[in-house]
Amino acid sequence: MKPVTFLPTVAKSAFYKIIISIILIFQVQFAFSQFECDFPPTWDSAYYTSVNPMLITIDDISSVSINGIGVNECDYIGAFYMDDIGGMKCAGAEYFQNNTGVIFPVWADDPDTPEKDGFAYGDPLVFKLFSWSCAGGKTIDVVSVEATANYPLIWYPLGFILVNRITCQTSFECQLSNSEPGERTVPQTETNNWLNYTCRLKQQSVHDLHRQMGESLIAVKEKDGSKIYWPEKRIFTLDKMNYGGEYLINVSGNSRVD
């Protein structure tokens, strides 16, 4: 007796595609639940409950650049749509980490709400970056996007696009010129005059420490994190030091940190 075939070949193919997409979506949602980097404060929340999202993949962090320099860890990539009144809103985003690529879902408009709160079929995909080291945190418009097989950069349900390269240009100094694409853009802590510092106050302002030390202070960074206070480069992603936190402080000459 032959087994009963419930689905024709074409239907099976579509069914398997849906199952694979659902598995990928659950994996991505699980990754979203373990955030380590702050979401861009000027972006709308990017997580919706609508079905059939599109997946965007960037498998090489070095292919994303601002002014020719690679992005930092905790910088964000987001996909934006135009809402009912002409504003650009985020409908999917992810941050870069550990010199690896990213994969993230881009959500559809929710049909159960009166306003447009996601992508509609055929909407253009507008990508933006958010750099924490650019002017203390700034959204960067994307100049060009190259996708595998020259796929059109439009949204469609259960779609999939592999992005090969994203290029941005800005008048702000967002990355550090001595960095290679994809490299963490932080001061070189292997050089001399870096001091280990453990904060003994409940909370200590880095700006107050700078005023206290004057020009002797060059930079302050988290010992095991990516936040930096670096006046020369106008990078101020580290604002306060917390009790018990370990930091590295770069000073000039024979300065000390008490």
Where along the chain do its domains lie? 9-30+37-168, 194-251
Return the amino acid letter for 252. S
Q: Which residue in the block uniquely carries the two structure tokens 């290679």?
A: 180
Per-residue pLDDT of the chain (258 residues; tens, 9 = 90+): 333 333 334 344 454 454 445 444 444 444 443 446 888 888 876 556 667 888 998 988 888 988 778 888 889 999 999 988 888 999 999 998 877 788 889 999 888 888 888 999 999 999 999 988 776 688 888 989 988 876 789 999 888 888 999 998 776 666 654 333 333 344 555 555 678 888 877 888 888 888 878 887 888 888 777 678 888 877 777 888 888 888 888 877 554 555
- Say if residue 181 is exposed, middle or buried (CB neighbours under 10 Å; 0-12, 13-18, 19+): middle
Cβ atoms of 193 and 254 within 8 Å: the answer is no
CB burial of residue 11 (10 Å; 0-12, 13-18, 19+): exposed
